[in-house]
A and B are shown apart, each in its own frame.
Chain A
Amino acid sequence: MQLHALRLSGFRNYTRAHIEPSPRVNILLGENAQGKTNLLEAIYYLSAFRPLRPVREADLIQWGAQEMRLTAQYETDGLTDELQIRLHAQGKRVITLNEQPVARPSALVGRLSVVCFTANDLTLIRGEPADRRRFLDTEISLLSPRYAHAVAHYRRALEQRNNLLRAYLEGAASLESLPEWNAQLVKYGARLFQARRQFLERLNTLAETTHRALTRRAESLQLQYQPGLPVRAPLPEKEEDWADALMSALHQSAGEELRRATTLYGPHRDDFQILVQGYEARLFASQGQQRTCALSLRLSEVALVESIRHAPPIVLLDDVFSDLDPARRQSLVAYLTPRTQTFITCTDLSAFDEATLRDAAQFEVREGTVSRHA
């Protein structure tokens, strides 16, 4: 995966900009509030078709502008694509691939494959189960449109079922259609369980290796899936088995569910545990250890995408060096740089060793402009 050229207009604080990155390391250097993260966001948006930060899409348009436009030329599977997104202030979005309009962008999510590290990744370790579920949903969706579809349908089925339980509690409805909502919940729920189990299993194998590399073999890292179901290990293997398990959990908890008017079991109650040296990172790991864990998770994702797509994704690193000691900084850069196109934002160059700096392309970002350093 390689980005050859990126053109921005009316995007965030960029009126107009153009960048031709190197196939290896690209350092985006600049003071605070100059547009470094915005540039990463442009690349991310071309991959995921949604903003990197939690804003409405229209907020990506430069303040006062009517339209934003991003155009990327990149190489994937030996082919060169030109992907363009235009977004109007009124909300109309037009995506073209090689100048052909794209009717269903969801099928194109992740075609430009990107893995993004942000300082915010720490919420993976420290945050709520909902943060980790969001991570699972975003990442698996990039790998599988079928999963993204199941997520949307599961959410809707859950909303419908909870509404029915509430209406019943208030005496406003009978439970006549409950079997059908159970069926919908179980159909999409089983898909989520199965995909999440598989994803975490693969990620776990990779996380172990990447974490050892980042910590120079000092620490181990494990991921343990905790499905929102009363099941004990070993976890079900097949989608049908997850379906049976969820259906029987629904039946067993029927009385309690009716009293509380909410769905007590299902992937909306999932979580996964992150263990460093066998202890839960959320509770026991130091600041730097937590930061390293979050990086290892993302790095594993890089490896996972690579094993599925047979080429490494583009890696975006936004302000990730804080809290890391020099040794871990170096391990991170060394781990990524040999084959992977990487974009790293920073406010100074102290995190890089000489060899990295010699090979990297440096860009200076200032007030919504970007220029290459000779």
Chain B
Amino acid sequence: MLFPPALRQLMQQLERLPGVGARSAQRLALYLIRRPEEETRRLAESLILARERTRLCQRCFFLSEAELCELCSDPSRESEVICVVADPRDVVALERLEQYRGLYHVLHGLISPAEGVQPEDLRLRELVERVRAETPREVILATPANVEGDATALYIARLLKSMGVRVTRIAYGMPVGGELDYADAATLGYALSGRQEM
């Protein structure tokens, strides 16, 4: 016995989401169609709205609804320091500390041949151009403390050092292999203040 077509299609769509298997897709779909219609409509609308409105900041590639993100358009941020991170979630994790006052640059990934990600697939050319144009005082590399994060940091350091900019790496007193997103505020704060020259 199969589910009716429209429901089945919903299940198939949900199953394509990361971390959702066939069973949880069924559970979610059955849950969603039993909720009040108003609620389902709002969910669908926010999905479309988020999709339509959100784009990448043209300067740092964090998520934004305008040409420039809130951070890049905030005149009180120090624009001579750029912190390079792998993922937009890392920006949020670092901002939660209320310690860092500079700007960011989001790579949207790490170099990882095993996943088919080469340097040119990341926002690296944009970083080099940005450093050339903005001549920051310091670039802080805050990629995670794993093999890919280290390799990416070394690669960036090699690119930027020839341009004469100071490049540092955040000090990982944090759990090895840990992601910024999961690190607790204390270790992350320590990592940021105790950074090392590359």
SS class, residues of chain A in contact with chain B: helix
A339 to B116, alpha carbons, bound, how many Å? 55
Is there a chain B Cβ closer than 8 Å to A78's Cβ?
no
From A149, A152, A153, A173, B118 is in contact (CB under 8 Å) with A173
Tell me which of B45-53, B100-108, B145-153 binds A: B145-153
Is there a chain B Cβ closer than 8 Å to A13's Cβ?
no
Chain A 157-185 per-residue mask, 1 if CB under 8 angstroms from chain B, else 0: 10111011011000011101101110110
From A104, A152, A164, A179, B113 is in contact (CB under 8 Å) with A164
Is there a chain A Cβ closer than 8 Å to B137's Cβ?
no
Whether the Cβ atoms of B151 and A181 lie closer than 8 Å is yes
Q: Taking each of B112, B147, B175, which has the highest tally of chain A beta carbons within 10 Å of its own beta carbon?
A: B147
List residues of chain B with CB within 8 A of the CB of A183. Answer: 151, 154
Whether the Cβ atoms of A160 and B118 lie closer than 8 Å is no
A152 to B151, alpha carbons, bound, how many Å? 15
Whether the Cβ atoms of B118 and A180 lie closer than 8 Å is no
Whether the Cβ atoms of A177 and B114 lie closer than 8 Å is no
The range of chain B's interface size is 10 to 19
Is there a chain B Cβ closer than 8 Å to A217's Cβ?
no
From B119, B154, B176, A149 is in contact (CB under 8 Å) with B176
List residues of chain A with CB within 8 A of the CB of B113. Answer: 160-161, 163-164, 166-167, 173, 177, 181
Question: Of residues 176 to 209 in A, which have CB atoms within 8 Å of B's CB atoms?
Answer: 176-177, 179-181, 183-184, 188
List residues of chain B with CB within 8 A of the CB of A184. Answer: 147, 150-151, 154
From A149, A167, A176, A180, B116 is in contact (CB under 8 Å) with A167
Measured between C-beta atoms, what is the minimum distance from B109 to chain A in Å? 13
A180 to B152, alpha carbons, bound, how many Å? 8
List residues of chain A with CB within 8 A of the CB of B146. Answer: 153, 156
Is there a chain A Cβ closer than 8 Å to B158's Cβ?
yes
Whether the Cβ atoms of A180 and B155 lie closer than 8 Å is yes
From B147, B154, B176, B177, A160 is in contact (CB under 8 Å) with B147
Is there a chain A Cβ closer than 8 Å to B57's Cβ?
no
Name the residue on A nearest B156 (C-beta). A180
List residues of chain A with CB within 8 A of the CB of B177. Answer: 152
Is there a chain A Cβ closer than 8 Å to B111's Cβ?
yes
Name the residue on B nearest A164 (C-beta). B113
Whether the Cβ atoms of B176 and A177 lie closer than 8 Å is no
Given contacts A153-B147, A157-B147, A177-B151, contact A163 B114 (CB under 8 A): yes
Given contacts A160-B148, A160-B151, contact A180 B111 (CB under 8 A): yes
Question: Of residues 157 to 198 in B, which have CB atoms within 8 Å of A's CB atoms?
Answer: 158, 175-177
Given contacts A159-B114, A160-B113, A163-B113, contact A176 B147 (CB under 8 A): no
List residues of chain B with CB within 8 A of the CB of A157. Answer: 147, 151
Given contacts A176-B119, A177-B155, contact A160 B150 (CB under 8 A): no
Given contacts A104-B175, A160-B148, A167-B118, contact A180 B154 (CB under 8 A): yes
A153 to B145, alpha carbons, bound, how many Å? 11
Q: Taking each of A156, A163, A177, which has the highest tally of chain B beta carbons within 10 Å of its own beta carbon?
A: A177
A167 to B116, alpha carbons, bound, how many Å? 8
List residues of chain A with CB within 8 A of the CB of B148. Answer: 156, 160
List residues of chain B with CB within 8 A of the CB of A159. Answer: 114
List residues of chain B with CB within 8 A of the CB of A176. Answer: 118-119, 155
Name the residue on A nearest B153 (C-beta). A180
List residues of chain B with CB within 8 A of the CB of A173. Answer: 113, 118
List residues of chain A with CB within 8 A of the CB of B118. Answer: 167, 173-174, 176-177
List residues of chain B with CB within 8 A of the CB of A179. Answer: 154-155, 158
A166 to B116, alpha carbons, bound, how many Å? 11
A172 to B117, alpha carbons, bound, how many Å? 11
List residues of chain B with CB within 8 A of the CB of A164. Answer: 113
Given contacts A167-B116, A167-B118, contact A177 B111 (CB under 8 A): yes
- Taking A180-B155, A184-B147 as given, write out 12 further A-B residue pairs in contact, using a Cβ cutoff of 8 Å, ordered by the A residue number: A156-B146, A156-B148, A160-B113, A160-B151, A163-B114, A166-B113, A167-B118, A173-B113, A173-B118, A177-B111, A180-B152, A181-B113
Q: List 24 A-B contacts (CB under 8 A).
A: A149-B176, A152-B177, A153-B146, A156-B146, A160-B113, A160-B114, A160-B147, A161-B113, A163-B113, A163-B114, A166-B113, A167-B113, A172-B116, A173-B113, A176-B119, A177-B111, A177-B113, A177-B118, A177-B119, A177-B151, A179-B155, A180-B152, A180-B154, A181-B151
**Closest 5 A-B residue pairs measured CB to CB?**
A163-B113, A164-B113, A180-B151, A156-B147, A180-B154
